[in-house]
Amino acid sequence: MTETHLAERLQNHTAHVTVLGQGYVGLPLAVEFARTGFAVTGLDVDRDRVGTLNAGRSHSPDVSSEELRGVIRGGRYEATSDFSILKRSDVVIICVPTPLRKSKDPDISFVVAAAEQVAGGFRPGQLVVLESTTYPGTTEELLLPLFEARGAKTGVDFFLAFSPERIDPGSQAFKVRDIPKVVGGVTKACSRMAALLYRQIIGKVIEVSNPKVAELAKLYENVFRNVNIGLANEFALMSRRLGVSPREVIDAAATKPFGFLPFYPGPGIGGHCIGIDPFYLAWKMRLNGYEARFIHLADEINGSMPDYVVELVGEALNDRRRCLNGAKILVLGVAYKRGVADTRESPALEILLKLQQKGAETSYADPYVPSVGVGETIVKAVEPTDQVIAAADCVLIVTDHPEFDYRRIVEVAQLVVDTRSATWGIPAPAGRVVAL
């Protein structure tokens, strides 16, 4: 299949699109292509997930089960674990996890395994796009040789590009179709094909000169957030020592209409991206003889926040002549961010464990997470009724889910420690609310 033929199939939506990986990134992307009229296959190694998806049950906060059932009924989406589908695909998009090892070095084993499967099922004329966040150089150094070894001529009978995912899980304001897409192809033809693909579902697509620029752009986005959150967290530590509210200071600074972007302190970094992706860049730079100092400093500050939160709870209880050891602590929210069920890297889990180690009696409430592992123990959520809230010596807000009634919590609780500014602006008796 020539470039012209593939372009025609993309433009008239007759190309078959396979999205490899049906997690938080892959499923919303697959459903968006299917919603636009493409025939889409969601390829995933998790057979249980495949069965659940084919039954019309979504695990993603960005795809409702009703939306999923709609594209299934229309014959435009099907999930499978059968990799033979790759040989019949015009487009293959790789959306697999890229975690860190315990040493904080990249673990690209999922990308390697996926790329080997795609290369093994390669046929001339395919467009392959990597979306998984990874170190700069992955597309050209790892994927490209796998295809060239099979006789593929890049930009002529095979098209390879990198386009970083920008999913914001749980966001109502920014869906897949709303977020501008960056693409970087190995050749100009590769960039053209990748850009043409995404223009079928996204209004704004930005072509950059090569995959490495696109890979670095994604890493810089998350380094930017990681470092600025680290700055906000350190600012909170300094503000507390000066006896002022960091939230009030940041809000005041944010009134400046230029040269300032507000970030707010919190209990630590969570999720798969912000606390992990910067280390892909730090690792790559270390190989090039450069130490990424900002990345490591931000990690040091952000990583210390769970300890600081536990310290804050202890001090707040002490001010009320109560000891942390034996105190009943109700933690509100264990997901890493509001409005989602994702607990990956959530600072709440570390906070719960540290509170238990200090002798506190802990429980948690989270409308999205019915049970969670804390250390070696599986803990079930409690319902945050007035009685449960009032019985706690301290209510600790770690994730500011919109379902919680913060005004009522402030009224009923004996003590509230708020790490998310969820109670900002709510009147409370002196000493009732302690904010980060």
Task: Give catalytic residues, as residue numbers.
Answer: 273
CB-based contact 368:390 (threshold 8 Å): no
Nearest to 433 by CA among 391, 396, 398, 388: 396
Nearest to 194 by CA among 130, 281, 99: 130
Q: Specify which residues 158 forms β-bridges with.
A: 126, 154
**Cα distance between residue 17 and residue 30, in whole Å:** 8
Q: H or E stretch including 183?
A: strand 181-185
How distant, in Å, are the alpha carbons of 113, 114, 147, 148, 364 from that of 142?
Answer: 11, 11, 10, 11, 44
Torsion (CA) 245, 249, 255, 259 in degrees, nearest 10: -140
Six-digit token pair at 127? 């467009």
Query: Residues 226, 227, 228, 232: is their CA dihedral positive or negative?
Result: positive
- 102: number of Cβ within 10 Å: 6
CB-based contact 197:207 (threshold 8 Å): no
CB within 8 Å of 363: residues ≥ 6 apart: 328, 329, 330, 331, 379, 382, 388, 392
**Cα distance between residue 260 and residue 257, in whole Å:** 7
Nearest to 124 by CA among 157, 149, 88, 160: 157
Look at the block and give the residue holding tokens 């396979």: 18
- Can you list the positions of beta strands (E) in 260-393? 328-332, 361-365, 371-374, 377-380
The string of DSSP letters for 10-78 reads HHTT-SEEEEE--STTHHHHHHHHHHTT-EEEEE-S-HHHHHHHHTT----TTS-HHHHHHHHHTT-EE
How distant, in Å, are the alpha carbons of 4, 136, 153, 208, 333 from that of 212?
Answer: 26, 5, 20, 9, 37
